[in-house]
Structure 1
Amino acid sequence: MSDTLWTAAEIAAATGGTASGDFAVDAVAFDSREVGPGALFFALTGETTDGHRFLDQAFASGAAGAVVSVPTPHPHVLTGDTTAALENLARASRARMDGVVIGVTGSAGKTGTKEALFACLDRPEPGQAHRSVKSYNNHTGVPLSLARMPRDTRFGVFEMGMNHAGELAALTRIVRPHIAIVTTIAPAHTEFFDSVEGIADAKGEIFQGLEPGGTAIVPFDSPYRDRLIAAAQPHAARIVTFGLGKGADVRAVEVLHGQPGGTFITAKIGDAHTLSFTLSQPGDHWVANAMAVLAAVAAAGGDLEQAGLALGELGGIAGRGAQLTARIGAGELLIIDESYNANPASMRATLAVLAGTRAQRRVAILGEMRELGVESERYHAELDGPILDAGVEAVLLVGEGMAPLARALEGRVDLVHVPDAASASARLATMLRPGDAVLIKGSNGVGLSRVVTALTQGA
């Protein structure tokens, strides 16, 4: 691949801006802390900050150029609106890409599925696949991820998220995927929707950007399957279902948990392929994710055997299932780091993973689930069953929203309820023991990643 991602002339042509001179970049960023040598820095202007304030910092870190709406002595492309310029550069990146583009959305499992799909497509020839990093899945993150895509990319995988109706429709028309995946539908962001059906409709917007001849990939076992299929039919030439249920186009026909190296799976992929492989990630939700991944690899013309090997090599993702060890007293404990996000469905899925984890004692450190609207109290209280079913003996609840669950669990497990992550960190030394398996999960805004850091780094 060419080392040059964009030239000043290409940036100016894509954005309608004016270049101060010739320069070339090999990376793109809008956070000055992510800028390295040779990067293009977008000085975005928002409600609370202005990227132009960080131009000197970006160039001190090695930026080769910037996109600005205010003149600067640094090498730059001057535009009227830097956010619009980022979207236009993203469109230019998508237009010059001759490979296969895959979009991923869902109420849970987006990032894990995106990472697994990238690993499967990149394994046969490292460097041929590109994906959005972190959880850059919103109105700025998606364009940034596209703008970062090397010009010779063969497979591009992009995560797309939403909080409100209409957001995915806008994002998918920028990404223009050949293949669009919905991982699952579950209560999430219900503060902004009247029903879970409304969430399904909003997730189904991803199909509106499908390229002609495109493929829609839909969860077979979801109660919203038919609703998603109806959303896909006007836009997709082909609709593929995945899951564990009989009748799914891509289906796990054999699942053996607890095998060396992970879960042994035999999958049927359409009528033509059967693939047996080991999945390194635990839990039935990951079995379903793997079926979505295989459906997409097949639709993209990827190598299914290499995909099976890649699924056995997946490492844990920080904040989304990474398993870590930490010292406590004279021994160690296991941490299941799910600290990045939470909704009722993902809480249940990861509690089931904890249930299958061998340990002297199972402990759950759970942060409140946010943006659940008027049903929030019920969704929190109803976690008592999954917690008890998982054999959890000690629970540390974090945040005011966890009060209904605290009441539901009172007298049934060892229970501590604290207001925030700092208070949770302060209780760790007295609460945890060597040999514990500890699930840490909550909405990102709760800040439970700080609890993970406190345990793993002794902070």
Structure 2
Amino acid sequence: MTVLWTRDAAVEATQGKPIGPDWSATGVTIDSRKIAAGDLFVALPGERVDGHDYVAAALKAGAAAALVSRIPEGLDDAPLLVVEDVLAGLEDLARAARARSRARIVAVTGSVGKTGTKEMLAACLAVYGKTVASVGNLNNHIGAPLSLARLPQDCDFAVFELGMNHADEIRPLTRLVAPHATIITNVEPVHIEFFDGIDGIADAKAEILEGLQPGGVAVLNADNGSFERIRARARVLGVDRIATFGQGATCDVRGIAIEPGSDGTRVTAAVAGTDMTWTVGGIGEHWGFNSLGVVAVLHALKLDLAACLDRLATVSAMRGRGGQITLGTADGGSALLIDESYNASPPAVRAALSVFANTPASRRILVLGDMRELGATAPAAHAGLKDAVEAARPDAIYLCGDAMAHLRDALGRDRVTEWTETADALAAAVAANVKDGDVVLIKGSLAMGMKAIVSAVEAAGSPAPRLQAGGR
């Protein structure tokens, strides 16, 4: 495997003090449970656990060394790199990795659609050279530097997802990543509990432009209500290259037709005036629209689109983010589970409901949990889902969480099969009602623990081995 960090390079990057024998690392991790042989274990302190307590276990599991701020008891001769602050040390590694890299780097943010956009970009860029992307949802003040510290020196391209739920969170991350291209998928009232309004969210997303390298390109969603505000901010920052995507006539990448199907989404678009078509593996209009932004990035980087657009068909939704799984049912048949248990916001719920509504089924079973971080807008936001729920024509509706009581009341209590305060309390009832031919959509914010319902539905029947694409 490729060596990411020698001891000498890590010492130079962090100005730390090496202890014990020489070492080299082929990976970097912060989770001692996921150690691979040759990893550098970063012993971050946390609110509930301290990584220093797991250094011995990490080394026993095959870690090459550990980044620490103190020497754990009994490890005086172990391969350690001692720094004053472990998180700062991780950031130093990230900064050094970026400085030595020759890769062309893309940074992605937005209220919804970040992860799917990142995955589509990575799949396409891999056609042109060695490409890496941040794993899963590693997009915060820990995840972004961790992803960057994992950047191999010989990469040609890298894609990093940057997230936030407060102002001033993306700014230090984008300056660390220093991208050559940025894309803001959209600005929506997500995390609005922590902002005065949508303009504050737009300004926080626009922080990603502050790390853009000279001559770099900002790719913006021209259909979004915050487009003009973000474009104006880009100009203030001296960003000369702005590329646009959307369905408006003046977009650099203009969507002409987006047609979701049972196994993907077909897109027809005009790219700088030339009509092109492609298929995205993800199901839903939102997947097709987000692919317009991906193509806008690739075009702005002056890459040959004909060589890579077929790779979009290989990207579909992951478990928890709309992945579709065929499961056995207790009556001996099979049902389709749309697993959206990872997170929820008003636009994401509407997108998932659209996919749900267009999925053939004998019955549609809808399970929704609270959308968090909506602040004073939460009652209206939950009740406001009424039209989208009714348009999906569910045969059974299960709701959980205090905020979902507002949707229950908007729909009418007789229309709702069952409402409970928690996901755990709802799990058995949902699982018992899943029959042959059903499609089940389960969606809610991560803090609601919707995974408990997913697990109950999966356990109710023997799983069948088919994984499909899905929603956001």
TM normalised by structure 1 equals 0.95
CA apart distance, 1:184:
1.0
Matches of 2:157 and 2:460, distance apart in 1: 40
Aligned residue number for residue 254 of structure 1? 257
SS at the partner of 1:392?
coil
The answer for the alignment partner of 1:58 in structure 2 is 58
Distance in 2 of aligned mates of 1:316 and 1:168: 25
**Cα drift, residue 237 of structure 1:** 2.3
Shift of 1:363: 1.8
Q: Quick one: distance in 2 between partners of 1:280 and 1:92?
A: 36
How far has the Cα of 1:415 moved from its partner?
2.3
Unpaired runs of 5+ residues, structure 1, are none
Aligned with 1:75 (options 75, 79, 95): 79
- Give the Å deviation of 1:432: 2.2
Q: For the residues of structure 1 that align with 2:324 and 2:121, how far apart are their CA atoms?
A: 20
User: CA 1:445–1:235 in structure 2 vs 1: closer, same or farther (change >3 Å)?
Assistant: farther
User: Is the 8 Å Cα contact of residues 409 and 415 (structure 1) preserved in structure 2?
Assistant: no
Tell me how large the CA RMSD over aligned residues is: 1.6
Partner of 1:143: 145
Which deviates the most, 200-209 or 233-242? 233-242
Question: Residue 242 of structure 1: SS of its match in structure 2?
Answer: strand
Question: Counterparts of 1:363-382 in structure 2 under 5 Å?
Answer: 363-382=365-384
Whether the aligned pair in 1 keeps the contact of 2:431 and 2:457 (CA below 8 Å) is: no
How far residue 301 of structure 1 moved from its aligned partner, in angstroms, is 3.6
Per-residue CA shift, 1:53-75, capped at 9, x if unaligned? 01111112110001111124320
CA apart distance, 1:457 = 4.2
Contact 1:205 1:231 in 2 (8 A): no
2:278 — aligned with what?
277
**Does structure 2 retain, via aligned residues, the 8 Å contact 1:118–1:157?**
yes
2:444 aligned to which of 416, 426, 442:
442
Q: 2:92 aligns with which of 88, 91, 98?
A: 88
- Give the match's secondary structure for 2:182: strand
Per-residue deviation, 1:433: 2.2
Shift of 1:19: 1.5
User: Aligned partners of 1:317, 1:305: CA distance in 2, in Å?
Assistant: 26
Q: Is the 8 A contact 2:182 2:217 kept in 1?
A: yes
Corresponding position of 2:10: 11
- TM-score after normalising by structure 2: 0.93
The offset of 1:247, in angstroms, is 1.9
Letter of the aligned partner of 2:141 in structure 1? H
Give 1:313 shift: 1.8
**Would you say the 8 A contact 1:325–1:456 is kept in 2?**
no
Which secondary structure state, in structure 1, belongs to the residue aligned with residue 203 of structure 2? helix
2:364 is aligned to 362
- Counterpart-to-counterpart distance in 2, 1:38 and 1:235: 43
Contact 2:428–2:453 (CA under 8 A) maintained in structure 1: no
- Inter-partner Cα distance in structure 1 for 2:283 and 2:107: 24
Consecutive unaligned residues in structure 2, runs of 5 or more = 462-472
Question: In 2, distance between residues paired with 1:41 and 1:411?
Answer: 52
Q: Name the CA distance, whole Å, in 1 between partners of 2:180 and 2:425.
A: 47
Change (3 A) 1:458 1:14: farther
Where does residue 390 of structure 1 map in the other structure?
392
The 3 A distance-change label for structure 1 pair 203 and 331 is same
1:23-422 mapped onto 2 (5 Å cutoff): 23-71=23-71, 72-73=75-76, 74-125=78-129, 128-233=130-235, 234-258=237-261, 261-271=263-273, 273-328=274-329, 329-411=331-413, 413-422=415-424
Give the drift of 1:183.
Answer: 0.6
Deviations 1:249-297 (A, max 9, x none): 1122233333x742222222224x4321122212111111101111112
Cα deviation digits, residues 298-354 of structure 1 (max 9, x gap)? 223434224321111223211111111112222111111111111111111111111
- Cα distance, 1:49 vs structure 2: 2.0
* C-alpha distance in 2 between matches for 1:124 and 1:364: 42
Q: CA deviation at 1:124?
A: 4.9
Aligned partner of residue 395 in structure 2, secondary structure: strand
CA contact (8 A) 1:338 1:439 kept: yes
Residue 45 of structure 1: SS of its match in structure 2? coil
Report the alpha carbon displacement of residue 411 of structure 1 after superposing the two structures with TM: 4.6
The more displaced of 153-162 and 386-395 is 386-395
**Any conservation in 2 of the 1:275–1:305 contact (CA below 8 Å)?**
no
How far apart, CA to CA, are the structure 1 residues paired with 2:288 and 2:277? Answer: 13
The letter of the residue matching 2:24 is A
State the alpha-carbon separation in 2 of the partners of residues 412 and 240 from structure 1.
Answer: 49
SS in structure 2 at match of 1:268? strand
The AA in structure 2 aligned to 1:231 is R
Amino-acid identity (%): 43
Shift of 1:453: 2.6
The structure-2 alpha-carbon separation of the partners of 1:294 and 1:412, relative to structure 1 and needing over 3 Å to count, comes to farther
